[in-house]
Amino acid sequence: MIPPQEASARRREIEDKLKQEEETLSFIRDSLEKSDQLTKNMVSILSSFESRLMKLENSIIPVHKQTENLQRLQENVEKTLSCLDHVISYYHVASDTEKIIREGPTGRLEEYLGSMAKIQKAVEYFQDNSPDSPELNKVKLLFERGKESLESEFRSLMTRHSKVVSPVLILDLVSADDELEVQEDVVLEHLPESVLKDVVRISRWLVEYGRNQDFMNVYYQIRSSQLDRSIKGLKEHFRKSSSSSGVPYSPAIPNKRKDTPTKKPIKRPGTIRKAQNLLKQYSQHGLDGKKGGSNLIPLEGHEHDFRVKHLSEALNDKHGPLAGRDDMLDVETDAYIHCISAFVKLAQSEYRLLMEIIPEHHQKKTFDSLIQDALDGLMLEGENIVSAARKAIIRHDFSTVLTVFPILRHLKQTKPEFDQVLQGTAASTKNKLPGLITSMETIGAKALEDFADNIKNDPDKEYNMPKDGTVHELTSNAILFLQQLLDFQETAGAMLASQETSSSATSYSSEFSKRLLSTYICKVLGNLQLNLLSKSKVYEDPALSAIFLHNNYNYILKSLEKSELIQLVAVTQKTAERSYREHIEQQIQTYQRSWLKVTDYISEKNLPVFQPGVKLRDKERQMIKERFKGFNDGLEELCKIQKAWAIPDTEQRDKIRQAQKNIVKETYGAFLHRYGSVPFTKNPEKYIKYRVEQVGDMIDRLFDTSA
């Protein structure tokens, strides 16, 4: 059992807690009542706020809708006003731009094109919205006038600023590829930069907006004229330069030519001036032949005078094999060759300019039209050269035909560049150069064949024959002609190959062409030999005939040996050199037989036999007298005749003199030793007129008119 005191205390504790709980409960109850009251108040306020919001919404929404409608109306009004302003502006375009269009685009192209853009938009508006409006006709007329002004400005800019390229600049351009030292590229400025920009701008506008292609015709006509005039100016430059200074020149390239141009000789690509130089060297050689560096045999004495005379005549002979070879012919050849190169360079430059101005799909056609006049001019001139060569062949003027060789070689060398430049042009344009090349090859081959036939059939036997038995003009001309072919071996070989019908000729291989040329040269030399044999029969004296053939054969052999001709001949005739030496030796032997009539008088086989110390009979004395007299007369006669003959080759002349001197001196010395002291006459000086040394001196003066 719990004690009473503890139970009482516990009760009080519980009662105190109960009281506290009751107080807390009362506080919570009061708080809940207050919270309920506050909730009721808040609900009341919210209900009132909701009511007010509904009233406000009912009032504001109509106002908002009305305001929105007003804003929309305002925007519509503004747009309408803007459209009206835009439409009205089209009606003012004509008046606003008329002054600018009337004054033209010069000096204010961008402003002018801006006005044209406005006019174009006005035209489009009226066409779409008011096709019957008088304003449409007005702006259309203004647009056409503006387009015409732009076309006129295009023409004016091209005409005023398209300048002929100077010959000096063209020559620098052509020779730039051949310069060994590194130099700046020569650049052609056909139009100033500012002008080019305006031209390009107008071109693009006319294509895009003007729907016009006439300006392309204007462009090619103007540029075509400048190209043609530039090339003709270069040709005229050659003529004037050659007439004033003798040699056309090209000043140094622009970066070295800013203030004072310096003369620079033109590189002559394959001219045939060499023939003239060789002929001139004939007149420059002295008796020892040491002047100059000719590959030909030096000419001496009276033969020299004769050769100078007839070679000079050959140069001036209108019908001879070397007719027409003068400086003007070389100038024309050089001019044409340089004009061909100039055309390629200028055409390349023109195409670069055209690419900036003309639309891409019109470039090839426009370029084709642009180059026609210049190209046709060059092709016509080329055909004239072919025609002149054809006439020259008829006249047997083969030196004039030689002008075809350097030109043809240059055309073939330039053909790859030509083909590249003419890419995209019409087939007729591309075929012009190949056609000219074919014509030149044909006429060149014809000239070669006719020359060979002319050498064979030259009828000149009695006239113009050298009285001293020296080298005939036909021989020198034939060798000179063949030597010119050395500079054009490939060209000449191709000419001959082009006329071959065999399948092997179609390849035109270098070896094949070389063999053809070798065969041709051998043919000419063979024809020449036959003709010389025929001509030699004109001489009544077999000895002079032999000297004539000896001189000609020796001249041919030395000329072949001192040039590459001998290598060409050896391609098809390995023994040609040996054959000529045999012919030369044969003629020397024939000549030596002419002295037999002199030496026979004193040869041992014809001498009288007598015993020493025995008095000679009258018959024996008379025989000895006749032998001395026959020898003296024969020696004097031969020396007198043969002194007027010529052997221009010093080595051969000395060789022939020495051989003959040895024979005669030996025979005469033996005769004189045997009979010089024999009393066969009371006047020995009458018969023993010459000592052995004197006979040798007389023979040493053979073939020398100055002796």
Give the residue-averaged pLDDT of 370-396. 93
pLDDT at 623: 86
Q: What is the dihedral of CA 82, 83, 84, 86, to 10 degrees?
A: 90
Round the CA-based radius of gyration of the chain to a whole number and report it. 56
Of the chain, the percentage scoring pLDDT greater than 90 comes to 45
Q: Give the residue among 389, 490, 383 at the shortest CA–CA distance from 437.
A: 383
Over range 112-139, report the average pLDDT: 84
Answer whether residue 461 shows pLDDT above 70.
no
Lowest mean pLDDT among 254-263, 382-391, 494-503: 254-263
pLDDT tier at 387, thresholds 50, 70, 90: very high
Give how far the C-alpha of residue 671 lies from the chain's centroid of Cα atoms, to the nearest Å. Answer: 74
Using DSSP, state whether 564 is helix, strand or coil: coil
- Asked whether residue 260 carries a pLDDT value surpassing 80, the answer given is no
Local structure of residue 465 (DSSP, 8 states): -
Helix, strand, coil content of the chain in percent (nearest 5): 75, 0, 25
Residue 682 has pLDDT above 50, yes or no: yes
**Tokens 């024959």 found at:** 465
The pLDDT tens digits of the residues spanning 3-57 come to: 778 888 888 889 888 989 888 999 998 899 889 899 988 998 998 888 888 888 8
- Residue 675's pLDDT is 82
- Whether residue 256 is predicted with pLDDT greater than 50 in this model: the reply is no
Confidence of residue 305 (pLDDT cuts 50, 70, 90): very low
Averaged pLDDT of the chain: 81
pLDDT exceeds 50 at position 255: no
pLDDT of 190 reads: 87
pLDDT tens track for 92-105: 777 778 888 888 88
Q: What distance in Å separates the CA atoms of residue 210 and residue 215, rounded to the nearest whole number?
A: 10
State the pLDDT at residue 657: 93
Alpha carbon distance, N-terminus to C-terminus of the chain? 196
Which has more pLDDT, 454 or 252? 454
Place of tokens 């005549």: 313
- In this predicted structure, what is the pLDDT of residue 89? 66
What per-residue confidence (pLDDT) applies to 286?
29
**Residue predicted with more confidence, 637 or 279:** 637
The residues that bridge with 265 in the sheet, in sequence order, are 249
The residue ranking higher by pLDDT, 660 or 293, is 660
Question: Cα–Cα distance between 304 and 517 in angstroms, integer?
Answer: 32
SS3 389: helix
d(C-alpha 82, C-alpha 621), whole Å: 153
Mean pLDDT of the 284-303 span: 34
DSSP state at residue 249: B
Query: In this model, does residue 267 exceed pLDDT 50?
Result: no
Q: Report the pLDDT value the prediction gives residue 328, as an integer from 0 to 100.
A: 65
Under a CB-based contact definition with an 8 Å cutoff, are residues 289 and 273 in contact? no
What is the rounded average pLDDT of the residues 416-427?
Answer: 93
Q: How does residue 299 score in pLDDT terms, banded at 50, 70 and 90?
A: very low
Q: What is the mean pLDDT of residues 627-650?
A: 92
Q: Which residues pair with 249 in a beta bridge?
A: 265
Here the tokens at position 306 are 């004769």
Residue 317 pLDDT greater than 90, yes or no: no
According to the model, what pLDDT value does residue 88 have? 66
Confidence of residue 258 (pLDDT cuts 50, 70, 90): very low
Nearest to 414 by CA among 344, 513, 493, 334: 344
* Average of per-residue pLDDT across 185-205: 87
Count CA atoms within 13 Å of residue 245 on its CB side.
Answer: 11
Q: Is 415 exposed, middle or buried (0-12, 13-18, 19+ CB in 10 A)?
A: middle
Q: Are 516 and 497 in contact (CB under 8 A)?
A: yes
How do residues 544-591 score in pLDDT, each as one tens digit? Answer: 999 999 999 999 999 999 988 999 999 999 999 999 999 999 999 999
Say what the pLDDT of residue 207 is: 87
Residue 529: both structure tokens together: 């030999």
Position 261 confidence tier, pLDDT thresholds 50, 70, 90: very low
